[in-house]
Amino acid sequence: MADSTTAASVENFSAPMTGGLTFELAGRPAKYTVLYFYPKDNTPGCTTESIAFREAFPEFQALNTEIYGISRDSLRSHEGFKGKLGLPFELISDPEEAVCSQFGVMKMKNMYGKQVRGIERSTFIIDAQGRLVKEWRGVKVNDHVTEVLEFLKSQP
């Protein structure tokens, strides 16, 4: 798994999310914002990853960190997925791939022997000043949320 640490500014963006809300990166009140990009609602890996973020949600809150999941699914799909899993955080809908493109997560992948274009499972941490402070690409679900928490706990 590749990961890197940077301090590049992230261009502001807004996108629709569950709960009838709009996500706006600029002016986030939290110390940190975790954006986790996942391929598709209601698939095994994405369900497992979302549950792991849900289970660790109180720890993220204690670190003044907000979590948002992002995929190309519709708001309707997101609302169902969020409700089914009891997610305590919002999901961002990006069917036009604007946010996915900004973060460079669209990749060609092998699925059942065919090349398909989809989201590479990736997580980004953005600080309150809008700087990208950590990224993980090609994420493997097992222990990933623990890695994200450990990174946040190591921050001043």
Q: Which residues contact 25 (CB under 8 A, 6 or more apart)?
A: 10, 12, 13, 14, 33, 126, 130
CATH class of 2-11+30-153: alpha beta
Q: What pLDDT is attached to residue 8?
A: 83
Active-site residue list: 46
The DSSP bridge partners found for residue 144 are none
Q: What pLDDT is attached to residue 16?
A: 97
Q: Which parts of the chain sit beneath pLDDT 50?
A: 1-6
Q: Say how far apart CA 93 and CA 21 lie, in whole Å.
A: 11
Q: What pLDDT is attached to residue 111?
A: 72
Q: What pLDDT is attached to residue 28?
A: 83
- Give domain limits for the chain: 2-11+30-153
Q: Strands 2-4 and 131-137, how do they pair?
A: antiparallel
Q: What is the pTM of this model?
A: 0.92
Q: What pLDDT is attached to residue 4?
A: 45
Q: Say how far apart CA 91 and CA 74 lie, in whole Å.
A: 10
DSSP code of residue 51: H
**Predicted confidence (pLDDT) per residue in 112-136, tens digit:** 788 888 999 999 999 998 999 999 9
Tokens for 136, please give them: 């993980």
Q: What pLDDT is attached to residue 1?
A: 33
